[in-house]
Structure 1
Amino acid sequence: MSNTAGRPLRADAERSVRAILAAAERVLAANPGASMEQVAEAAGVTRTTVHRRFANRQALVEALAAEAAAKLAEAIEDGYPETAPPLVALHRATANVLRVKGAWGFALGPAVLQSEQAARTHAEIARRCVELLGRAQGEGVIAADADLEWVRRVFYALIGEALHGGEHGTETPDQDPDVLATRIVDTLLHGVGPRLG
């Protein structure tokens, strides 16, 4: 983690920034209009400390979006998308993504305007996802003529529905990410039609 000037932060300053970002996620998820003062209170720091680290509310939200995107990228990497068997990597990455998206719902939500840094990270995640789907396609798990960009979009939609598509739009955060990942991958690869053979 680095500050807005690009210089590495001291360990105590980095802990402070992480505490502020974690508090910002909690506070803004509950109340998207919350103030910097409310974030400071939730983080257990002074308002001055928050303003020292983030020039304004927009800078805080952009840093929050970048941090959440970085966590999402780490979750994908933890699935070993380049070395694990494609189905194993797809399941593990999906379960990891569900965990991160569940914990960073505000920062990864549609209401947050992505910073350039977060947008670059999300573009790289999408590229890595298509690569993993390509590995699965190469092993015959996905049809040879499937449009992998379309498959990626369907995959993302299934993840979104798993997290936010409960009855009447209620979220289902208590469901086990591994169970949800199995359902998502199974639906992505097999659809909902009857199994033949």
Structure 2
Amino acid sequence: MSETRLRADSARTVQTILEAAERTLNRKPTATMEEIAAAAGVARTTVHRRFATREALIAALALWAAQQMSDAVDAARPETTPPLIALYQATANALAVKLSWGFATNATLAPGNEAERIQAGIVERCDRLFERLADAGGLRPGVTSLWARRVYYALIHEVCQDAAAHPDTPFDADAVATQLVETLLHGVGTPGTTL
């Protein structure tokens, strides 16, 4: 067997383990390596060969999810696409990742890890997108990109919490992204309401 094929087989095995770990840990955060191996359909020794400890597996899972999120944001082309369109697309993409990798995107890791570095890059791109949106007149005067991002992240978090609490309810990421962005930019009140 060629070395290229061995590497491809190894990469597929790692991905299978990570996907099984996400499903298993999302249902049961205290799941053991043995339970994860069983869910992946591999021997426990195969999991231990790739990940020496449960913590190493969770760190790899968080890194994988962070990279998926970064790729999802990049796919929206937030630097070059008109900011409102980029915000809608990034939101739909981010929701799809967060719902697929819920445990991993919320995993708590030691500071200074690679997933944290990737997430910091996502935050920077998000802030620049909100700055572009503000420059285009999409944010009220006085609303900072930091405030917009915090409210945006809170909305995404709440949407994902609700989706996780109702796993049997169909979820249309595009429709939810539209509602989320509309709520972010226009609130929940009726137009013309003043205080």
Report how far residue 60 of structure 1 moved: 0.2
2:188 is aligned to 192
Shift in Å, 1:193: 2.4
Fraction of identical pairs, as percent = 48
Matching of residue 34 in structure 1 with residue 31 in structure 2: yes
Find the partner of 2:17 among 10, 20, 26: 20
| 1:83-162 equivalences in 2 (<5 Å) | 83-109=80-106, 112-114=107-109, 116-162=113-159
Match of 1:170 in 2: 165
> What TM-score results when the alignment is normalised by the length of structure 1?
0.88
The answer as to whether partners of 1:65 and 1:107 remain within 8 angstroms in 2 is yes
Question: Unaligned stretches of 5+ in structure 1?
Answer: 1-8
TM-aligned CA deviation for residue 194 of structure 1: 2.2
Query: 1:11 Cα deviation (Å)?
Result: 1.1
Within a 5 Å distance, the mapping from 1:22-101 to structure 2 comes to: 22-101=19-98
1:57 is matched by which residue type in structure 2?
R
Q: What's 1:11 paired with?
A: 8
Task: Give unmatched runs, 5+ long, in structure 2.
Answer: 1-5
Shift of residue 121 of structure 1? 1.0
Indicate the RMSD between aligned Cα atoms, in angstroms: 1.8
1:107 is paired with a residue whose SS is: helix
Question: 2:180 aligned with 1:179, yes or no?
Answer: no
Deviation at 1:91, TM superposition (A): 0.3
2:191 aligns to what SS in structure 1? Answer: coil
1:164 is aligned with what amino acid?
A: Q
Partner Cα distance (1:134, 1:171) in 2:
34
| Deviation beyond 3 Å, 4+ runs, structure 1 | none
Instruction: Give the C-alpha shift of residue 65 in structure 1.
Output: 0.5
| Structure-2-length-normalised TM-score | 0.89
Alignment size in residue pairs:
185
- Bigger share in helix: 2
SS in 2 for 1:196: coil
- Which whole-Å CA distance do the structure 2 matches of 1:160 and 1:102 have between them? 10
Taking the aligned partners of 1:32 and 1:83, their CA distance within structure 2 comes to: 39
The answer on whether the counterparts of 1:95 and 1:180 sit within 8 Å (CA) in structure 2 is yes
